[in-house]
């Protein structure tokens, strides 16, 4: 199975900061990488699909990049509603796997 790792596991940031989260796959997954945002007590929300495509309705301050094994989610200017946990997920294989998540909280 394909293992997903994320770094950092958590970070503290201020409103307006540029935030970058990294996701790494244990093998080449091409661009089959999706990013989700999850707030406490809520279901995950799809932000980015196919590594760099912005899901409809998601603010343009979110962007994704990468291919192969290394991927990045960037929030260009952190807003109060962005404090949440972010998960990456590979859909390259028929057995999907998620990263362990990155919690973004207020500095």
Partner 1 sequence: QVQLQESGPGLVKPSETLSLTCTVSGGSISSYYWSWIRQPPGKGLEWIGNIYYSGSTNYNPSLKSRVTISVDTSKNQFSLKLSSVTAADTAMYYCARDTGLGMNYWGQGTLVTVSS
Stretch (H or E) spanning 73: strand 70-75
Q: Which is nearer to partner 1, 5 or 28 (CB)?
A: 5
Give the per-residue contact string, 78-107, with partner 1 (x = CB under 8 A; - = no).
---------x-x-x--xxxxxxxx------
CA distance 86 to 77: 16
CA distance 4 to 26: 6
Q: Which stretch binds partner 1 (CB under 8 A): 22-30, 38-46, 65-73, 76-84?
A: 38-46
CA distance 97 to 3: 7
Q: Which is nearer to partner 1, 52 or 74 (CB)?
A: 52
- Is position 34 an interface residue for partner 1 (rule: CB under 8 A)? yes
- Is position 37 an interface residue for partner 1 (rule: CB under 8 A)? no
């Amino acid at each position: 199975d394909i293992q997903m790792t994320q770094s950092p596991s958590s970070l503290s940031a201020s409103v307006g900061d540029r935030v970058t989260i990294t996701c790494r796959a244990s093998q080449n997954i091409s661009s089959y990488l999706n990013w989700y945002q999850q707030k406490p007590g809520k279901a995950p929300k799809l932000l980015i699909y196919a590594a760099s495509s912005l899901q409809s309705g998601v603010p343009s301050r979110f962007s994704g990049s990468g291919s192969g094994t290394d991927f990045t989610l960037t929030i260009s200017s952190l807003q109060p509603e962005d404090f949440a946990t972010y998960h990456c997920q590979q859909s390259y294989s028929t057995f999907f796997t998620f990263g362990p998540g990155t919690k973004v909280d207020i500095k």
